[in-house]
Every structure is written in structure tokens, then in C-alpha cells.
Amino acid sequence: MNSYRHPGLVFTDHRFTVPLDHDAPDGEKIEIFGREAVASANVGQDLPWLVYLEGGPGFGARRFIGTEAWLGRAVREFRVLLLDQRGTGLSTPANRQTLPVRGGPREQADYLAHFRSDSIVRDCEVIRPQLTGGAPWTVLGQSFGGFCAVQYLSSAPEGLEAVLITGGLPSLDAHADDVYRAAYPRIERKVAAHYARYPQDVARARAVAGYLAEHRPESGGHLLTPEGFQSLGIVLGGSNGSHQLHYLLENAFVEGAHGAELSDTFQEAMRTATSFAGHPLYALMHEAIYGRGAQPTDWSAERVRAEFPQFDAAAALAGDGPLIFTGESIHPWHFEVDPALRPLRETAELLAARTDWPVLYDADRLAANEVPVAAAVYHDDMYVDTGHALRTAASIRGLRTWVTSEFEHDGLRAGGPQVLDRLLGLVRGESDR
């Protein structure tokens, strides 16, 4: 194990071996990486553990520099494990370079079927006794990490001392179609709020989309399209997202030898923002996290989008209305324009058609829950439907909610010490609300 110091912290790297398929423990193994963080003043002390489950799916745990965001508050009393969930970060990778080792698309899809929250939770239960000696630990789940935490409560509550969830209470029974039918109106509200803040961006966005429709430029092998441009709206769910989008748009055009053209600065920024090279599992598994039973997800976001014609870029450009950005949704065209995803198109099709997804949540067990649970629910969260979240909160015995409009979906990062402190107070009965 490697240990190293940051201001106020000591990090230690851990690597764990777990079964690919926990139902076949003697079969193939994969590696899970976790980074332990402890306050410099607490090195050597016997502290309780807190495991952090990042959002996604498909993102490794955040790489902290010192005690930034919520981590400084956590290490005051915990030894923290920043877990790279399977397939992400420094864990055994799953991407266009490594998946072909599995074989063809069918073998790749079968492999990836083991990369949902149920497998992540079982990884945690292999890792936990190695670190805690068998004692339960506290889980902090952000966004998809909260989905994992609810699955943890469903399948292995004996491993949990307490659960803290930020922007991540999933519906217990919704199909992916239900998720996206609820999502598109929320996205439209966020876009309307952005245009109200920056009305000049209405014309800018139409100009960019029109240019992309006519010229379809490439940047680093990435095809830039109106639909890809619309997907930049994903940032509108974050605390600074509207400002980020505005600053991107204000640099969109330069005057070249033949008139106005998209600037290299904008094209590179768009390519970087829309590329899945660093997190391909997000695209591959995004709808699979909602898979349940025999009903396939079948490119749900794409199908449901047809029910909301105001999101059609070509129709917007043909008329005089604003271009409506999209949000957290994955579409077949992602696997055509992005070189990091292009080789995985058939694999994605097989995942979308899959009809044997296990049910992830046990409603009866959640109704009888005895683990202290607190959840921050962000009012009009763009990524996780507030109505779905509150129904789930009411279904988990003893769960205490903090519903707030002070933060967006990234509240744990933007207001980390405050958010974490509030949730710890709720699970400990130190707060009345």
C-alpha cells in the first residue's frame, strides 16, 4: 500500500480482489481500488469508517486535493474510503480498449451486466470486513451512489451503521420510461431559467445549432452535431452550470476568412464536454441502472423524447423558437459521434435489449428498515425527480429527509461541510428537521 500526505490529510491506496460475478465466487476476479483518507492528526487512531459512493454510473471517486469540499468535515471523525466502483478509476477498467478482451459484443454485454448497483454493494461487503474487522460502516452516497445505498439497505443492511444520501433517492418501481417522462419537463424548466438569466443566449444557441447542422465539423475524431450541442444542457443541473454554459456560448464564433465560423476554442470545449472517453460506463450503463425484470430499457430516453417535440433541434431551427437543451440522457447517436463509444455501439444495443435484469430494491425490507438514514433532496433536482425521491423516502422506515432549494444536485460539492453536517445531525437525532 502506498501512503502520501496532502495538507491536513494522509491518503493510503488500497486494492481489493472481488469476484466478477458474486454468485460464482470461484470464477473470474476483478480488482477494486479505494483511497483511504484520514486526518493527519488522527493517523493511528481507531476511527469508524465511512465509504463514499460516487455518482454516475461510471465515474471513479473524486480526486481530492487536501480537505476540500465535504472531506474535511468527514475526516474529523471518520476514516474515509473513496471507492472507485467496478470499472471506474483505478479499478479494473471497462472501456473500448479493454472490453474487446472479453470477446464480441455479446460477451461484452454479458460482462457489463455485472456492473450495476447490486454488484457494487456486494463488492463493498467483500471489502468491509477487510477494513473494519467486520464492524458496520457508514455509507455516503451521492446521486447514483445514493441508488447504491438504497440497494445496500435492501440487500445487506447488517453492514451499515448509517446511510447518508445526497440527491440520490431512486424510484423503487419506475421503469426507465417513467424516469424520462418526469425528466424532460424538469430539463425544460432549467433551460427556461437559463434563458431568463441570459436572454442573449437564445440567439447564440440557435446560431451554433444552425452552424453544426450545416457543417457537421469534427474535433479530434468527434463529430459535432446539433444533438450533441443540446446535450451540453446537462450542466444546468449544477450550481454554476448556467454560468458555465453562458461563458461557453459567448466564445462560440470568430470572424474567419469566409465569415463567421465556430471558434477552435468552442469546438474543443464542446468536444471535451461531450466526450465519454473518461467515463464510457456512464453511457453504456446509464439506462441499465433502471432495468428491472423482463421489460427492456430499449433506448428509453430516445423513445420518450419523441413525446416532447419541443426538444427537436431541426424543428426549432425551422421555426423561430428557442433551442431547448437536453440533460442527463443517453441516445443511440452518442455511439455514432463519439470515438470513445463508436466501437461499443452493438454492445450498447444488446444492453438496451436485455430482458433479465434483477429487481434491485426490496420494498418489504426497506419498509422494515432499522438503519439510520438521512437524505438531502434538492428541490427540482434536474437529475433525480423530486417526486420519485420523496415517495421512496416515505417507503424507507425511519428515513429523515432534508428538502432544500439552497443547493442544486452538486450540493455535496458546493456546500459539502454544511450538507454533510446536516445529514449527520439527522441520523444522530441532533436535528429536529
- Give the whole-angstrom CA distance, residue 164 versus residue 373: 6
The one catalytic residue in 91, 117, 119, 143 is 143
Residues 206-257: tens digit of each pLDDT: 999 999 999 999 999 999 999 999 999 999 999 999 999 999 999 999 999 9
pLDDT the model gives residue 107? 98
What cell numbers appear for 15 in the block? 486494492
pLDDT the model gives residue 17? 98
Cα dihedral value 113, 119, 120, 121, nearest 10: 150
Span 3-172+361-427: which CATH code? 3.40.50.1820
What cell numbers appear for 313 in the block? 433541434
Q: How many other CB atoms are there within 10 angstroms of residue 365's CB atom?
A: 14
What cell numbers appear for 278 in the block? 473518461
This prediction has a pTM of 0.96
- Residues 95-108 have a mean pLDDT of 97
Is 312 part of the annotated catalytic residue set?
no
pLDDT band at 432 (very low <50, low <70, confident <90, very high): low
What cell numbers appear for 127 in the block? 471489502
Contact between residue 365 and residue 124 where contact means Cβ atoms under 8 Å apart: no
pLDDT the model gives residue 60? 96
pLDDT the model gives residue 214? 95
- Residues 74-103 have a mean pLDDT of 97
The one catalytic residue in 23, 26, 46, 356 is 356
Query: What's phi and psi for 97, nearest 5 deg?
Result: -85, -35
Is 409 part of the annotated catalytic residue set?
yes
Q: Tell me if residue 378 falls in helix, strand or coil.
A: strand
Kindly state the helix (H) or strand (E) to which residue 266 belongs, with its residue range: helix 264-274
Residues 8-41: tens digit of each pLDDT: 999 999 999 999 999 999 999 999 999 999 999 9
What DSSP assignment string belongs to 1-43?
A: --EEEETTEEEEEEEEEEESSTTSTTS-EEEEEEEEEEEGGGT
Is 356 part of the annotated catalytic residue set?
yes
pLDDT band at 433 (very low <50, low <70, confident <90, very high): low
Kindly state the helix (H) or strand (E) to which residue 82 belongs, with its residue range: strand 79-84
* Domain ranges (residues) in the chain: 3-172+361-427, 176-353
Q: Tell me if residue 321 falls in helix, strand or coil.
A: coil
